[in-house]
Amino acid sequence: MSKKTFVLDTNVLLHNPHAIESFADNDIVLPMTVIEELDRFKKNSDELGRNARHVIRHLDALRHKGNLREGVPMNSICDSECPGMLRIFAGKGEINGADLDLEVPDNKIIRVAYHLFQKGENVIFVSKDINVRLKADALGLKVQDFDKQKVNYDHLFTGCRDITVPKDTIDKLHYDKSISIEGYKLQPNECAMLIDEINPRHTSLAQYKNDAFIPFNHSNDDQVWGIHPRSKEQRIALELLMDPDIQLVSLVGNAGSGKTLLALAAALELVLHKKLYEKILVSRPIIPMGKDLGYMPGDKDDKMQHWMHPIFDNLDYLMHKVKKDSQSVRKSIEELMRNHTIEIEALTYIRGRSIPRQFVIIDEAQNLTPHEIKTIISRAGEGTKMVLTGDPDQIDNPYLDASSNGLSYAVERLKSHPIHGHISLRKSERSELSSAAANLL
């Protein structure tokens, strides 16, 4: 099989600054336009700017190992012997007969890929931009998304399964408090609905811990900060959220399924009542039409108010569970914010921090890349619990989808780790209208 030539779009390197290490057995070509776009992004203070600077430094290191125009052996950045080469293409090439504006940076990159294709190289054009892939495909180029960090969303780990068992097994679970079921070895902290094979209405929820099934700590009547679970999945979510041994919980579900509400309820209970954590830190990615807080007036807190309305809506609802009048609710929330028991933070400012003894909620995590999720989780200090919530079917980031976002990636990669627990919430509980919208629109 002939060696492939991968021509990378800028967005691939901005998405994952280590992407060039993923094609080490083949040749990689970076058009000069990619270098120019990296130079433009390097001034940004966000994740894109940091990724651009990382790639530029990486390329500069390669420059000292050879001539980038002629090509530098990839084994200079690989642990093993890699026959591939990386080179920067400084020419333009031509596309005859194609109605493309060749002054557009995307089209300049496509033009280089097409030029190499015409020269007889086995070219594969790699881009995170669907429209750019469509244009390249229309020209006859082989195209692909960068999928090293993709998972199969259609088969995403759900965190729960049904198991049909004899009646004696369910009775033994509650009597012995720990049982094994022949033929079933689940992921750590995965939950199971045990169903009586004779009477399907006779059921019990169990959790798989230390190679055994154990009953839930909380009964059906238990509530957390005035919240009663309305479904099997919500009950599982509360079990995971209230367990201090589970340091990372991921909650996936559509609009109205209760992800953020349950996470906040558990946070209030564990911080204010049980005193297991010192404070609550809530954050979410800022993805407006223009990805910058600076376009809004006021200081950081004033700007964050606009993006944190969903959090405050849930806080208001939860505080009404314990305080009935609106005035005392407002005062309680203001007091919690003033003494920093609840802290609202932009994800931009979390990088570089060490966060010990806190209950951290990252809302709308489906809009983060796998690299960003890794950066955030690695901020957790001793005694911190972190919760990721989101809906991979509602992504605002133009370069992510249900299979490539950081939330889905984290669920699959961490499902076998004993400090991680996950549940997919399938039913909208907000209202009948919300449920109809989530299912039908």
CA–CA dist 67, 405 (Å, integer): 35
CB contact at 8 A, 13 and 55: yes
| Residue 83 pLDDT | 67
Beta bridge partners of 212: 209
CB contact at 8 A, 242 and 276: no
Which residues lie closer than 8 Å to 21 by C-beta, 6 or more apart? Answer: 77, 78
| Residue 309 pLDDT | 80
CB contact at 8 A, 429 and 390: no
Beta bridge partners of 227: 224
| Residue 103 pLDDT | 82
| Residue 300 pLDDT | 58
Count of Cβ atoms closer than 10 Å to residue 330 Cβ = 13
CA–CA dist 250, 58 (Å, integer): 33
> What are 83-122's pLDDT values in tens digits?
688 999 988 767 766 677 778 899 999 999 999 999 999 9
> What are 388-397's pLDDT values in tens digits?
999 999 998 8
CA–CA dist 66, 95 (Å, integer): 30
| 243, two tokens | 């367990």
| Residue 28 pLDDT | 95
Residue 270 per-residue DSSP state:
I
Q: Which of 105, 91, 127, 142 is nearest to 13 (CA)?
A: 127
Residue 154 Cα to chain centre, angstroms? 16
CA–CA dist 378, 366 (Å, integer): 17
Helix/strand/coil percentages in the chain, nearest 5: 40, 20, 40
Q: What single-letter amino acid sits at 182? A: E
The burial class, CB within 10 Å (0-12 / 13-18 / 19+), for 88 is: buried
| 33, two tokens | 């336009």
Which three-class secondary structure state does DSSP give residue 423? strand
Q: For the chain, first and last CA: distance in Å?
A: 47
| Residue 91 pLDDT | 81
Residue ranges in the chain whose pLDDT is less than 50: 288-293
- For domain 4-144, the CATH class is alpha beta
Fold of 227-440: Rossmann fold (3.40.50)
The burial class, CB within 10 Å (0-12 / 13-18 / 19+), for 332 is: middle
| Residue 425 pLDDT | 95
Place of tokens 């790639």: 55
The DSSP element (H or E) to which 440 belongs, if any, is: helix 432-440
Place of tokens 């033994």: 172
| Residue 289 pLDDT | 35
Place of tokens 């939950």: 191
Q: Rounded to 5 degrees, what are φ and ψ at 89? A: -95, 115
The DSSP element (H or E) to which 300 belongs, if any, is: helix 300-307
Domain locations in the chain?
4-144, 227-440
Count of Cβ atoms closer than 10 Å to residue 298 Cβ = 11
Length of the chain: 441
Strand order in the sheet with 191-196: 160-165, 191-196, 203-209, 212-215
CB contact at 8 A, 430 and 260: no
| Residue 288 pLDDT | 46
Place of tokens 């900060």: 225
Count of Cβ atoms closer than 10 Å to residue 11 Cβ = 21
Q: Note whether 4-144 and 227-440 share their fold.
A: yes
| 155, two tokens | 């088969």
Q: Which of 218, 263, 260, 274 is nearest to 241 (CA)?
A: 263
CB contact at 8 A, 42 and 10: no
CA distances from 437 to 365, 423, 441 (A): 21, 22, 5
CA–CA dist 128, 398 (Å, integer): 9
CA–CA dist 338, 345 (Å, integer): 14
